[in-house]
Structure 1
Amino acid sequence: MHDAPALDVQALLDAVENASPAAAVTTAARHLADAVGAQEVAFWIADAAGQALLRIHDGERLDVEGTPAGAAWREQRVERDGSWWVPVTVRGDAQGVLEVCFQGDAATDGITDGITGGGTDGGTDGVLAHVRTVAHLLGYVMVANQRHTDEYETGRRSESFELAMEIQRRLLPQAYVCEGGSFTLAGWLEPSSSAGGDTFDYIASPDRLTVSLIDAVGHNVNAALLATLTVNAMRKARRDGGDLGAQAHAADVALTQHAQEEEYATGVILELPLGDGPGPLPVRVLNAGHPPMRLVRGGAVTVVDVAPDPPFGLDYGRDRKAFGSHTLELNAGDRLVLLTDGMYEQSAATFELDDHIARTSGLHPRNAAQDIARAFRDHVHGQPEDDATFVILDWHGGTTSRETDGGSDLT
């Protein structure tokens, strides 16, 4: 057994803070290499489509499917194939993997416990623990520093976005995945070539989780601007303490006042109380002309048909409408899937959506979202005629406390 290497976390954080925001991740990687005697340490970031891992700074590509790096990222475990591949994750949001290479195998003899593909059952001398710690820290380093640089956002892109998609992307939450103890959530936006005004949002407050899905009418920049107006009106109302009705009213007024005639948006908003009880959970739902959700219970998929109010921004010549909410009960283990009509209209009309939801019902929402998105892309040959967006929400019951390892919920 080797002596445990010295990893000074304070020195690592100081080094990151002293580096430029664009160099923060590579600085942390170099610090780890020095601490554990690695020949090379590199960070691979997950691309925006969830199909590949891109080596930060030089853009070298590894497919997720069929690679140890992809397995580490997808399954949230350490893989080894000569290099160590360690997931970089914050609150369930899998940002990429850390690759750690040693000179030969001598440096890692007897420390492969817990690493798939290692081939031995030896103990650990501290190297693996340090690598996992730095990988977890690396996730927070990237979250903090991407506020100040485009380095990590551009690093995710295999190709350039059109202007409308650039606008829509800025509306999305910074993390598509959130593990919250009593819930796990994952969202996905599959854009069409002419962006169709889709977006989703969520926020975990101290006592509630609010989730929304919006589809603004039209395509291209105008649809993206309508979505921007809708989402930000709802965010303002929410931050001012408004309930679902107030958020819907704010979106409706904003579109009525600022959009052109016949420009509108459909939407669905959920509000889940976050308490100590295991369920059943009363979920408030507001539907503004939006397609029905799906409920997955015991592996069976059913349509949740909530009576809709009119879409946001459609004035039928009467007094400003009041939006009503409905109550849906969730049991621990239930899954809700919110979606836009792009999942089954036009080029996707024959996509077996409910079958894919059922087939992925046992997967983590993050992996279920990736699998459904991949199947959808294959079905439309990579050319959807409308944006296709969905949010997968699992309700686990209980409290918001978590049992985690390296930023991922063990349960």
Structure 2
Amino acid sequence: MDDAQHSSRRVAVNLSEGFGERLLGELLDRAHEMPPQLIAPLVAEEIHRIGGRDVSIFLQDYEQTQLVPLPGRGLVVGSAFPIDGSKAGDAFLRKTVVEDVQSDGVRMYLPLLDGSDEVGVMGLTLDLVEENDRRLLRRLAGLVADLVVTKHAYTDRFFQARRRMPMSLSAEVQWSLLPPLSMDTPQVAIAGILEPAYDVAGDSLDYALNDDILNMAVIDAMGHGLNASLLATLAVSAYRHARRQDVGLERLYAFMDRAIDEQFGPDQFVTAQMMQLHVGTGHLDWVNAGHPSPLLIRGHRVIERLDSPGTLPVGFGGASPLVSSVQLNRGDQVLFYTDGLVEEHRLGGEQFGEDRLIETVEQVSPLNRGVQALVRSLSQTLKRERGGVTSDDATLLLVEWRGGTADHLAEVDF
């Protein structure tokens, strides 16, 4: 078929630029070369063009308890909102638009979603909200989230806005290593949290979804302070290096073990769990190198401790890892955690312990929708139960297997 015949059969499509496309397109076109400090006034200007006012951008703080305002020309910078118990927090937790009818208009809070990670919330006020406004603003919020994530690599201002107190050097190192702390897809969801957020040193986590395999790791480097963070940095870097060669858990463990042994010697080590979840089938494999057993949660109940043969901590040198497996049901959740969570002593001297952790999981789970909300709530509840004490690093990583397929997201439907 020649070009003329092909053109004659092409379906006629109206490619003229409408108002909504022009609004979003101008934002995207100008953002490419724009320095980070001009993103705020550009977003405010675009919202003013559709009749919006009092524009604010809120980012989640490091402890995942507050939504803190991002300073910037054209933005309204007020007080932080608690994530729990506020309209902005509802939008954040539920990943949906929240409309608050007020005497002078409708205050809208739109979640800022970069992919499936929640960046924060955008707030604005309209005199009247119609369905076209909602559609356009949802798309605008998605673009704003992408801009915030893209531009944050070029400035410290977004990091500074998220901080509610000074951060230690060791914590600075750890936060620079972390992936987004949540991911939500039709097949699988994952969320994590580290404590204490501003002074964490030896704990870390990592994950990557490579086609049909979700790779995950939780590590706890021995010691405290900067040395522990450097040990954790090598462990995570070695894990990523091996993972990106698409190796199995045995070779992945061996590579990490050798890297830490050669650099630090046998006197320093890292406890770890490395996991691979086949998102199409729900088959989970893992190596447990010195961590507490993960908990299998089904129907808001902890139905099983996933005990497995122990493997030597990473860095002792020469160990052969023991791989364990389990078949998950759709909707199952698996909670991985480090020992700092259960070895903390409650007020009065009693160790917190695994039994109390299980009770807390079963108490909190029915009250929360989604893995990110559950991890946040679980972390805060556990902290209260421990009397607010966190003398050691503590990490939670929760994964939920949903099964099915995400292929429909790649289909264009007009």
Shorter chain as denominator, the TM-score bin is: 0.7 to 0.9
Q: 1:194 to 1:5 in 2, by over 3 A?
A: closer
1:242-391 paired onto structure 2 within 5 Å: 242-275=247-280, 279=281, 281-301=282-302, 302-315=304-317, 320-347=318-345, 349-350=351-352, 352-362=356-366, 363-391=369-397
- The yes-or-no answer on 1:179 pairing with 2:184 is yes
Task: Please tell me whether the aligned partners of residues 296 and 361 of structure 1 are also in contact (alpha carbons under 8 angstroms).
Answer: no
Deviations 1:162-191 (A, max 9, x none): 011111111211x11111221010011112
Deviations 1:142-181 (A, max 9, x none): 12222222222222111121011111111211x1111122
> C-alpha separation between the residues in 2 aligned to 1:6 and 1:356?
47
**Partner residue, 2:12:** none
> C-alpha separation between the residues in 2 aligned to 1:179 and 1:168?
23
Which residue identity lines up with residue 95 of structure 1 in the other structure?
A: V
> C-alpha separation between the residues in 1 aligned to 2:41 and 2:250?
46
Deviations 1:246-280 (A, max 9, x none): 211111111111115421111111111233xxx4x
Task: Please tell me whether the aligned partners of residues 5 and 127 of structure 1 are also in contact (alpha carbons under 8 angstroms).
Answer: no
> C-alpha separation between the residues in 1 aligned to 2:154 and 2:405?
34
Greater share of helix: 2
Deviations 1:364-388 (A, max 9, x none): 1000011011112223343301111
1:120-131 paired onto structure 2 within 5 Å: 124=131, 126-131=132-137
Q: 1:187 to 1:87 in 2, by over 3 A?
A: same
Q: TM-score, normalised by structure 1?
A: 0.85
1:2-401 paired onto structure 2 within 5 Å: 6=20, 8=22, 9-34=24-49, 36-57=50-71, 60-81=79-100, 82=102, 83-102=107-126, 107-108=127-128, 111=130, 124=131, 126-173=132-179, 175-191=180-196, 195-275=200-280, 279=281, 281-301=282-302, 302-315=304-317, 320-347=318-345, 349-350=351-352, 352-362=356-366, 363-401=369-407
Q: 1:87 to 1:194 in 2, by over 3 A?
A: closer
User: How many angstroms does 1:137 deviate by?
Assistant: 1.2
Q: 1:296 to 1:6 in 2, by over 3 A?
A: closer
Task: Please tell me whether the aligned partners of residues 41 and 98 of structure 1 are also in contact (alpha carbons under 8 angstroms).
Answer: yes
Task: Please tell me whether the aligned partners of residues 47 and 53 of structure 2 are also in contact (alpha carbons under 8 angstroms).
Answer: no
What SS is found at the alignment partner of 2:365?
Answer: coil
User: How many angstroms does 1:299 deviate by?
Assistant: 2.6
Q: 1:45 to 1:196 in 2, by over 3 A?
A: closer
> C-alpha separation between the residues in 2 aligned to 1:27 and 1:152?
16
**Partner residue, 2:11:** none
Moved more, 363-372 or 343-352: 343-352
Task: Please tell me whether the aligned partners of residues 286 and 325 of structure 2 are also in contact (alpha carbons under 8 angstroms).
Answer: yes
> C-alpha separation between the residues in 1 aligned to 2:37 and 2:120?
16
Q: 1:192 to 1:218 in 2, by over 3 A?
A: farther
Task: Please tell me whether the aligned partners of residues 279 and 403 of structure 2 are also in contact (alpha carbons under 8 angstroms).
Answer: no
> C-alpha separation between the residues in 2 aligned to 1:96 and 1:90?
9
> C-alpha separation between the residues in 2 aligned to 1:325 and 1:143?
37
Q: TM-score, normalised by structure 2?
A: 0.85
Task: Please tell me whether the aligned partners of residues 46 and 54 of structure 1 are also in contact (alpha carbons under 8 angstroms).
Answer: yes
> C-alpha separation between the residues in 2 aligned to 1:41 and 1:298?
41
User: How many angstroms does 1:401 deviate by?
Assistant: 4.2
Deviations 1:27-74 (A, max 9, x none): 22421222x111232211111111111110157312222211111111
Which residue identity lines up with residue 130 of structure 1 in the other structure?
A: L
What SS is found at the alignment partner of 2:379?
Answer: helix
> C-alpha separation between the residues in 2 aligned to 1:203 and 1:166?
22
Q: 1:50 to 1:193 in 2, by over 3 A?
A: closer
Q: 1:65 to 1:273 in 2, by over 3 A?
A: closer
Q: 1:329 to 1:382 in 2, by over 3 A?
A: same
Which residue identity lines up with residue 313 of structure 1 in the other structure?
A: G
Task: Please tell me whether the aligned partners of residues 271 and 314 of structure 2 are also in contact (alpha carbons under 8 angstroms).
Answer: yes
User: How many angstroms does 1:25 deviate by?
Assistant: 4.5
Task: Please tell me whether the aligned partners of residues 193 and 383 of structure 1 are also in contact (alpha carbons under 8 angstroms).
Answer: no
Q: 1:245 to 1:140 in 2, by over 3 A?
A: same
Task: Please tell me whether the aligned partners of residues 92 and 121 of structure 2 are also in contact (alpha carbons under 8 angstroms).
Answer: yes
